[in-house]
Amino acid sequence: MPAVSTNDLKNGMTLNLSEGLFSVVEFQHVKPGKGGAFVRTKLKNVRSGAVLERTYRADEKLDQALIDKREMQYLYPDGDALVFMDTGDYEQINAPRGALGAAAGYLKEGDSAVLQIFDGEIVGVELPAAVELEVTETEPGLQGDRVSGARKPATLETGLQVQVPLFVGVGDRVKVDTRSGEYLTRASS
């Protein structure tokens, strides 16, 4: 694994620390009047999302993790895994639902995603900012019930549950934000 100096850190760089894989969120070089320079960092755990603040001496060596980002197309579910195909060489891989985290709820057959792979293990998934999904189950809205901002639960075609406005019904297509899991708008059919 290549070693990188703390002087060469960049936002988005991934480090392999003893606690796991961490992405650099922000860093700051500090040169106090007395003593040696140091680097103050904010790191985000790639797997859990937990944020960690660390301070390192200037020019300290850390292990850089080389993450392979591959454009993949979701093909079909296979038990407790999802089958993806590499769009470049057509190689298929099985990805456990647990490794995909919440991203599995936004994927339907034929969708593309960028899988982040480290040492043969999936450590992250990059999705588009919003996806269109069909509502498969929700309560009907009552006539005249037009309370501003009122919401009701709805189940989407992937099994994902979101809160939608009262006017959304079964069969409607909705746009959902993949970062927050919130309803954005009704999609045009």
Q: What's the pLDDT at 176?
A: 92
Closest CA to 113 of 159, 104, 39: 104
Residue type, 29: H
Residue type, 91: E
What are the chain's domains? Answer: 3-63 (2.30.30.30), 68-126 (2.40.50.140), 130-186 (2.40.50.140)
* Residue 96, CA distances (Å) to 8, 37, 41, 104, 118 in order: 35, 44, 32, 10, 15
Q: What's the pLDDT at 148?
A: 66
In the sheet with 161-165, reading across from the earlier edge strand, the strands are 161-165, 151-156, 130-138, 173-177, 183-186
Query: Would you give the distance in Å from CA 24 to the centre of its chain?
Result: 16
Q: What's the pLDDT at 46?
A: 82
Asked whether the beta carbons of 1 and 61 are under 8 A apart, the reply is no
**For every one of its 189 residues, what pLDDT tens digit does the chain have, with 9 covering 90 and above?**
688 888 888 988 889 988 888 989 999 998 888 888 999 999 988 877 789 999 999 889 999 988 888 999 999 988 888 999 998 898 998 888 888 888 888 998 988 999 988 888 888 888 888 899 999 998 886 655 566 677 889 999 988 999 988 888 888 999 999 888 899 998 875
Q: What's the pLDDT at 6?
A: 86
The C-alpha R_g of the chain, in whole angstroms, comes to: 22
DSSP per position, 127-184: --SEEEEEEEEEPPPPTT---TT-EEEEEETTS-EEEEETT--TT-EEEEETTT--EE
Q: What's the pLDDT at 144?
A: 59
Please tell me the distance from the alpha carbon of residue 3 to that of residue 146, in angstroms, as a whole number.
59
Please tell me the distance from the alpha carbon of residue 137 to that of residue 156, in angstroms, as a whole number.
7
pTM of the model: 0.73
Q: What's the pLDDT at 175?
A: 93
